[in-house]
Structures are given as C-alpha cells and as structure tokens.
Amino acid sequence: MSCERFEDQLADDLGGELSGSSRLEFESHLRRCPSCRQEAETLREVVSTLDALGLPDVGPPPVRSARFWRVARRSLAYAAVLGAGIIIGWSAKSPALQQDVAPSSDVAPIRLAQFGPVHPEWLSTGSHSEAPGRGGAIVRNLSTFTRALGDAAASP
C-alpha cells in the first residue's frame, strides 16, 4: 500500500468502517511507515477525545406534549390581549392624549373623551383597573376574561 492509498483509507479507519483485507493492508502499511503511523495515531486520539463526551445518564427526555404547546400558545395570546387592553385603558385616561385627540376641528368622529371624563385622582391611582369610565372597564373585563380563559386552559 502506498501513502496515497493510506490517505484514502484513513477516513474509513477513523470512522470504524475499515474491515477485512483492507484493514490488514492498512495496518501493514502503518507498521512500515512511521509518518503515516504517527498521523493515524494522532487523529485516532482526536476521535477518542470527542468520544469522551458521552451522553449523561439522565433517563428519558421530559415529555412536552401537544397540549403543552397549545397552552403555551394560548398563554401568549392572552398576554398580548391583556397588554393591548392595558394600553387602551391607559390611553383612555391620559389627559395629555385626550387633549391631543380632541381638536377644535369640525371633523371629530372618534374622540377619546367619549370614554368618560378625566378625574384628577386617576393620576395617583396605582392600578388602571381601578379607573372609572370605559377605559377602566375594558381593563377590568379583560382581566376577568383572561383569568377565566386561564382557568379553562389549566383544567384537565
């Protein structure tokens, strides 16, 4: 066997796919050629090092069923709806926004003022759901709705 032929068979050797007469021929060449022997031994060590990273013994993989993914998707949707509700509620009670969208123009088809009057105490209240008017009601209803859906999703 020549050194070029050795090169061809080296991948088979490293991959554990060299057998029969080819292996005998390969090993015979290694005994005769120090440089090829050195090369083969070094690369076998690399494979051996990689192989040392065995699988840890941890048992079967945790099962995440299709139901898990359904609930996860649903929860994300609830969070998005709740977030939108909070934004709507906040914008409804913001005096600055009311002033912005209540221009003196004749065309005012939608005005945030229709959600109700602005009360100064809203500015000090800690929760949007405590706010009176339609904005607060939206947030309250969304919270109730989300809780009910969450309960339904959690029930078997």
Partner 1 sequence: MTGPVRSDGAVDRQVNPMDAFESHRSRVFAWALRFVRNPHDAADLCQEVYLRWRRASRHTAVIQRPAAWLRRVTVNLAIDLVRARRREAVRPTLAGREGGVLLGAEQCELEVTIAAALAELTDVQRSVVVGKVYDGLTYARIAEELGLAIPTVKTHYLRAIRNLRPLLAAYAPENADTLEHVR
Site residues, partner 1 (CB under 8 A): 10-12, 14-15, 17, 41-43, 45-56, 58-59, 61-62, 64, 66, 69
**Shortest Cβ 113–partner 1 spacing (Å):** 43
Minimum CB distance to partner 1 smaller for 58 or for 110: 58
| Token duo for residue 146 | 């989300």
Cβ nearer to partner 1, comparing 46 with 123:
46
Measured from the CB atom, is 55 or 110 closer to partner 1? 55
Which CA distances in Å does 56 have to 32, 51, 52, 53, 69?
A: 40, 13, 11, 9, 27
Beta carbon of residue 100, minimum distance to partner 1 (angstroms, whole number): 38
d(CA 139, CA 153): 21
CB-nearer residue toward partner 1: 20 or 117:
20
Choose between 53 and 107: whose C-beta lies nearer to partner 1.
53
Residue 62 CB, nearest approach to partner 1 (Å): 5
- Rounded CA Rg of the chain: 36
Give the whole-angstrom CA distance, residue 93 versus residue 148: 26
Hey, what are 135's tokens?
Answer: 């904005």
Contact criterion met (CB below 8 Å) for 150 and 78: yes
Minimal distance in Å, beta carbon 59 to partner 1? 8
Kindly report the number of other CB atoms within 10 A of residue 116's CB atom: 16
Residue 79 CB, shortest distance to partner 1, in Å, is: 16
